[in-house]
Amino acid sequence: MPTTASSTVSHRDARLFYVAGVALLAAVYFAAGRLGFAASAIHPVVSSAWPPSGIALAALLLFGMRFWPGITLGAFLVNVTGGIAPIGAAGIAVGNTLEAVVAAWLLISFAGFRVSLERRRDVIALVLAALVATPVSATIGVTILTLLPGNPALPFGAAWLAWASGDAIGILLVTPLLLSWRSGPELRPSGRDVLEAAALAAILVGFSVVLFEARISFVYTVFPLAVWAALRFGPHGAATATFIVAIVAVGYTVQGVGPFTNSTDVNNLFRLQSFLAVLAVTSLIVAAMMAERRTVEAALKASRKQHRDIVQYASVGVYQTDPDGKILLANPALAQILGYDGPEELIGRNVADQVYLDAAQRPALVSKYESLGAREFELEVQWKRRDGTPIWVDLHARSVRAANGDTEYFEGFVYDLTARKRLEDQFRQSQKMEAIGRLAGGVAHDFNNLLTVIGSCTDFVLDDPDLRSDHRSDLTELRKATDRATLLTRQLLAFGRTQVLRPSTISLNERLVDLSPMLKRLFEATIEIELETGPHLWNVRADPGQIEQVLLNLAINARDAMPKGGTLTFRTANCVVEAEGSPAGEEYAMTPGDYVRLRVRDTGVGMDEDIRRRIFEPFFTTKEVGKGTGLGLSTVYGIVKQSGGYVRVDSTPGRGSEFWIYLPRTRATPDKIVARPHRQNGSATGTVLIAEDEPAVRDALERILTAAGYTVLQAPDGAQALELFTSLRGTVDLLITDIVMPVMDGRELARRCVEQKKTLKVIFLSGYTQESLLSRQTFEDGTEFIEKPFVRDAILERIASVLRA
């Protein structure tokens, strides 16, 4: 890959930076070395404290091992200018470099060293590295000095020990100073800290000077000041305080003043170095211990804050109680679950008396689950809110044991299950209603076929002019009973959501206004009807006749609940259901969207919970025998659900009931209702094909149409009807087909016949079964449909109207 101009520049800059770094390190090493020679006590080139050793090690630790040439160059220069032959100076320089490299390599590779010196292990590692690495430089340097001619005679062992200890003191004094100030934690001192540090430095200098000027033997009394610096300012303060004391101590000792000058030169040197080493290690260890303590305290503080935050902001309830049940800890979520303003209101309360719905339940649960020990147990229990409202909670708890095995306290998490329990109850109720609805729809379908035959045959007999009057009277009652049975089956079909709807766009406000006069005539004068129609009410898509049936049934139910009079109120309003799934305060989930809400409230006797849960079941009634079928509210339920809506009821005994109806909004404009024209008198003409799998119904329909003048063809299923139509399609004017038939259903039959003859008219028949292919049993506008059981005049009028269209 070709080298770009920018990369070339960056490489050149890196090289220049490296060369400058090496040169700077050499210069600093040289300057510190000249200062170190001034501290020589037993040999001109054997220093009592060698600062360059600390500088070299700090440089490699801070900037990397690659800067070792700076050490070699600086050491060579400082030794060659100190009167040592170039070859000897070069050898000593190699020894000084190896010392720094070995120490840095040991610290980095084996000790996991952190340059901030905020751990005791780092201080100890630094001391050990100094003890291991300095003999390298001392061995090479003293050997060279011994071999070079013209150097002062000095025992090899004393010189070697002085050299190694001097380098070690340099590492212990200078390396921590440079590392702590270069890589320690960022200092943000306050004004008070600055004043305290300045005062401490002044006291330290003054006290050290007094100790050495007065030749007081108790120089270790300076330790408390160094410890003070370590405690207050960490590794920065410890290294700085030790360095200040070292300058004073070395300066006075070299000049022959102080407590370390009253013995031989070698003894004085080692006493000085021992003092400095102990001072440096002690202050650094204290500083590291304090740093570790601060780190632990900070971690503990952070952990406690994290724990508090978790408890404070948890979405589930968190609690602790003593063995007797007194609450020791609670969080806002638990307070919200239990209906309190805050967790502080729960502290000190007893859960058995003020939280459990049944106070005797807690001791039984504790004795049952305490045998589990520290293992968590989970159970569903009934608690109560502050106002006494029962709630269900899922309790995850455990007992915390003391050292002697006794329970110290209980702790756990609380999940509010009330909404879920309500949804489960709703789901079970929905399944129950669905099962009853299927049964009702199936039974109604079979009865419709039977009632069609009974009603048609009754009409045929009643048409006989020679029928005896007593027989006519009996058949008339039979016809009335058939009509009543027809009404019951239609109510069952409404509940089972299997009736046929003819939806159109309507306004509930207009329906209420149109129905109001009839309701006022129907009700006693003691019942007042109030209409509160919402402004700008949205339109809904529903069957107008069925919606009027809903309003009428709710009104009649309310009237019966107010035998002594009262007020019946109808309220309409727009309602938006958000993504959460239900309006505020509702106990059941709804599909998000726009709804028109109808509220029907009475001031009657009301209902208890058991009755409220069963009011939509067919044939369930609280009225006296013979005063109600128990199908009025079932019909309401079925019509609303089949229209895509929702229905619920709120009621309190003695305070009345309120029904809430939600119907989906439509953005279409209201339809105009056109009255169906009446059948004109005269002979009927045309060919009608009947497809019906029930023979009695098929024969009855053929007899009605034939008597009216139509030419009638019939088939027992869709396949035979299609075959017959195909052979005679030019002559068939109208197809009357049941929807559900074997072999081929009515919709498929109608589709295939219309494909062959576009002008063919079609009328569907059905007994409304759940298994029909009608989508939710709904016909759109323009589809003709005749319900079973049908009345002769009504079906003839519909057929004539369709053929004329």
Portion of the chain with pLDDT greater than 90, in percent = 35
Mean pLDDT of the chain: 83
Question: Is cis: bond before 52, omega within 30 of 0?
Answer: no
pLDDT at 368 > cutoff 80: no
pLDDT at 571 > cutoff 90: yes
DSSP classification of residue 1: -
- Residue 740's identity, in one-letter code, is V
pLDDT at 493 > cutoff 70: no
491 vs 26, 617, 663, CA distance in Å? 106, 12, 20
- pLDDT reported for residue 777: 45
Q: What is the mean pLDDT of residues 474-488?
A: 74
- pLDDT reported for residue 69: 96
Whether 117 and 287 have beta carbons less than 8 Å apart is answered as: yes
Portion of the chain with pLDDT greater than 70, in percent = 84
Strands 734-738 and 761-766, by their bridges, are parallel
605 alpha carbon, distance to own chain's centre? 44
What is d(CA 642, CA 543) in angstroms, rounded to the nearest whole number? 10
Tell me the fold of 504-666: Heat Shock Protein 90 (3.30.565)
Residue from 175, 170, 169, 165 nearest 239 by CA? 175
Q: What is the pLDDT of residues 235-258, one digit of tens each?
A: 999 999 999 999 999 988 888 888
Rounded to 5 degrees, what angle do the CA atoms 340, 345, 346 make? 85
Rounded to 5 degrees, what angle do the CA atoms 77, 82, 83 make? 110
CA torsion sign, 684 to 689 to 693 to 695?
Answer: positive
753 vs 406, 583, 691, CA distance in Å? 86, 48, 12
What is d(CA 641, CA 639) in angstroms, rounded to the nearest whole number? 6
351 alpha carbon, distance to own chain's centre? 28
What is d(CA 170, CA 667) in angstroms, rounded to the nearest whole number? 90
Binning pLDDT at 50, 70 and 90, where does residue 487 land? low
Q: 230, exposed or middle or buried, with CB in 10 Å at 0-12, 13-18, 19+?
A: buried
Q: What is the pLDDT of residues 185-239, one digit of tens each?
A: 677 778 898 999 999 999 999 999 988 887 667 888 899 999 999 999 999 999 9
CA torsion sign, 727 to 722 to 736 to 734?
Answer: negative
326 alpha carbon, distance to own chain's centre? 31
Domain range 314-416, its CATH number among 1.25.60.10, 3.40.1000.10, 3.40.50.1820, 3.30.450.20:
3.30.450.20
pTM: 0.53
- pLDDT reported for residue 268: 85
Q: Is domain 687-804 given the CATH code 3.20.20.70 in the classification?
A: no
- pLDDT reported for residue 501: 59
